[in-house]
Amino acid sequence: MKEYIVLVPNNIKNKIIELSRIKYYNYNIKFMSIDTFIKRVTFDFDEKTIYNLMKKYNYNYSTSLVYLDNLNYISNKLSNNKMTKLKEIKDYLDSNKLLIYDNLFKEYVKDKEIYIYGYDYINKYYKSILDNYNYKVIDYEYKDYAIKDIYEFNYIDDEVLFVIDNICNLISKNINISKIKLIISNEYKEPIYRLFKIYNIPISVKNRSIYSIKEVKNILNNLNNINEEIDSINDTSIKEKIVKVINKYSFIDNKEEVKELIVNDLKNTYLNEDNTGIKIVSINDYFDDDDYVFYLGYNKENIVLYKDNEYFNDKEKVILGYDTSIELNINKKIEIIKKIKNIKNLTISYKLFDNSGNYTRCDLINDINIIDNYKTKYTNSNMMNKIFLAMKLDNLVKYNIKDKDIDLLSSNYDIPYMQYDNKYHSVDKNKLYKYLNNKLLLS
């Protein structure tokens, strides 16, 4: 059977594989990302490479990665100290067999048909490598759904409450919660976690690293007795994740020497998430037409663009024949607009302020109706309504500002506003003993 290679982004790979099994069930297809393909036909590096580079040149972890990530751009077109240093590093790594060359794969792909799908733009360096192979780019067919309105809010909490109101409305219409998805930036994690909890809406927003847990701290503090520490971990899932990280450094006995690398890996290893709630997704993900997507934080500050601050600057990239930050940003903006308009049921919103400062609306899409007068509903949470009432009473008492809804809320909720009882109330002895499991503990 003839074999094919399909290069597809990781975030849509599973969906593409699922669809291909239906349409191309009798084809032998190998899927991978374009990044993986380029590394396998050129060279790659691993933890051992990083460690030896750090040790040889006394670099820290991040500096080592900068050099390693730029080794591919070695060229005789440019002659300066930066290029000389890269050549020196690569010679050292090659002479010590510290770079990974997949010669079997390079031979394997020579006569294969390669199809590239899901990439809006292939950078000039990647294209220079791909031109040595038999490849074809299959255009991703974007839809062009109209974006009529964008919602503006003064504060981030108001924006999140707007999304909650819409989610409650969808749930009331029996929309499966698995079809509701959020695109957010980091500043939304705390208010979403806090406010969704009040409304009892399940969501996995805190992607917690295992680096923060006690067992990992114990291991890092006792790397010389690492096996004993690992054996003492009861949670199988956590133990497996830690072992997987530590096994990367089997090339060295003294784990203290690679502690910086281990810490970095642990920070990027996450606890298993509860997948039953609303999902946090990316604009780059695959969306079905029955998905309901809320894009929060449509602010200029949250659009990640390229800057002319990389190892080679834009002038040097022109000499090398690679993309400048200006070229990459033009294509990035076009890509974002296409992906926004590709989502059928999309609600876009942004805020002007949060605790960290001011924000501005993203201007990628123009001629859009801005709705800035949304009023939060009082039909979804009694707890939140009491909080609303307390806030409005605060404004009345402190600033003599009476909200038009204060009478409505106060007629429905009786809250102990500005009431404080300073009398001592003893603790019920039976409840205390029950709490202490019938044992009195003195310290």
DSSP symbol at 100? B
Within-domain flag for 143: no
In terms of domains, do 199 and 214 share one? no
- What pTM was estimated for this model as a whole? 0.85
In terms of domains, do 359 and 395 share one? no
In terms of domains, do 26 and 175 share one? no
Within-domain flag for 86: yes
Confidence of residue 384 (pLDDT cuts 50, 70, 90): confident
- Examine the pLDDT at 74 and tell me if it is beyond 50: yes
The packing angle between helices 47-57 and 61-69, to 10°, is: 110
Q: Determine what percent of the chain is predicted with pLDDT higher than 90.
A: 73
Alpha carbon separation from 398 to 392, 406, 417 (Å, rounded): 10, 15, 13
In terms of domains, do 202 and 216 share one? no
pLDDT attached to residue 58: 97
In terms of domains, do 262 and 278 share one? no
The beta strand positions in 131-191, using DSSP E, are 135-138, 149-155, 180-183
Q: Which of 149, 126, 167, 108 is nearest to 38 (CA)?
A: 126
Within-domain flag for 287: yes
- Examine the pLDDT at 400 and tell me if it is beyond 90: no
- Examine the pLDDT at 278 and tell me if it is beyond 60: yes
Is residue 204 classed exposed, middle or buried when 0-12, 13-18 and 19+ CB atoms within 10 A define those classes?
A: middle
In terms of domains, do 38 and 116 share one? yes
pLDDT attached to residue 441: 53
Within-domain flag for 376: no
Last residue of a domain, one of 267, 287, 312: 267
Cα–Cα distance, 398 to 198 (Å, whole number): 26
- Examine the pLDDT at 275 and tell me if it is beyond 80: no
CA 434 to chain centre: 44
Within-domain flag for 30: yes
pLDDT attached to residue 422: 55
Q: Using one digit for the tens of pLDDT, what is the confidence trace for 212-247? A: 899 999 999 999 889 988 999 999 999 999 999 999
What residue has token string 């050099």? Answer: 67
Cα–Cα distance, 280 to 171 (Å, whole number): 17
Indicate the average pLDDT of the chain.
Answer: 91
Q: Which of 121, 74, 111, 114 is nearest to 94 (CA)?
A: 74
Q: Which of 77, 79, 48 is nearest to 64 (CA)?
A: 48
Last residue of a domain, one of 222, 239, 267: 267
Q: Using one digit for the tens of pLDDT, what is the confidence trace for 323-375? A: 999 999 999 999 999 999 999 999 999 999 998 899 999 999 888 999 999 99
DSSP symbol at 71? G
- Examine the pLDDT at 105 and tell me if it is beyond 70: yes
In terms of domains, do 116 and 8 share one? yes
- Which CATH number covers residue 349? 3.40.50.300
Higher pLDDT, 8 or 15: 8
Q: Using one digit for the tens of pLDDT, what is the confidence trace for 44-56? A: 999 999 999 999 9
Mean pLDDT of 209-213: 90
Q: Determine what percent of the chain is predicted with pLDDT higher than 70.
A: 93
Within-domain flag for 433: yes
**Helix or strand or coil: residue 418?**
coil
- Examine the pLDDT at 434 and tell me if it is beyond 70: no
- Examine the pLDDT at 167 and tell me if it is beyond 50: yes
pLDDT attached to residue 78: 97
In terms of domains, do 312 and 427 share one? no
In terms of domains, do 34 and 94 share one? yes
In terms of domains, do 200 and 300 share one? yes
Other CB atoms closer than 10 Å to residue 285's CB: what's the count?
Answer: 17
Number of domains in the chain: 4
Higher pLDDT, 264 or 26: 264
Last residue of a domain, one of 371, 394, 429: 371
- Examine the pLDDT at 145 and tell me if it is beyond 50: yes
Mean pLDDT of 300-306: 93
* Contact of 117 with 10, CB cutoff 8 Å: no
Q: Which of 58, 63, 53 is nearest to 88 (CA)?
A: 53
Q: Using one digit for the tens of pLDDT, what is the confidence trace for 117-126? A: 999 999 999 9
- Examine the pLDDT at 443 and tell me if it is beyond 50: no
Within-domain flag for 378: no
pLDDT attached to residue 205: 67
In terms of domains, do 25 and 89 share one? yes
Which residues does residue 347 pair with via DSSP β-bridges, in sequence order? 294
Which residues does residue 203 pair with via DSSP β-bridges, in sequence order? 278
The string of DSSP letters for 155-166 reads EHHHHHHHHHHH
**Helix or strand or coil: residue 229?**
helix
pLDDT attached to residue 27: 81
Within-domain flag for 219: yes
Which residues does residue 285 pair with via DSSP β-bridges, in sequence order? none
pLDDT attached to residue 381: 83
Mean pLDDT of 247-261: 95
- Examine the pLDDT at 33 and tell me if it is beyond 80: yes
Confidence of residue 417 (pLDDT cuts 50, 70, 90): low
Q: Which residues contact 56 (CB under 8 A, 6 or more apart)?
A: 92
pLDDT attached to residue 106: 97
In terms of domains, do 364 and 308 share one? yes
Domain range spanning residue 160? 149-207+274-371
CA 130 to chain centre: 28
- Examine the pLDDT at 91 and tell me if it is beyond 90: yes
pLDDT attached to residue 379: 84
Mean pLDDT of 195-209: 85
* Contact of 248 with 265, CB cutoff 8 Å: yes
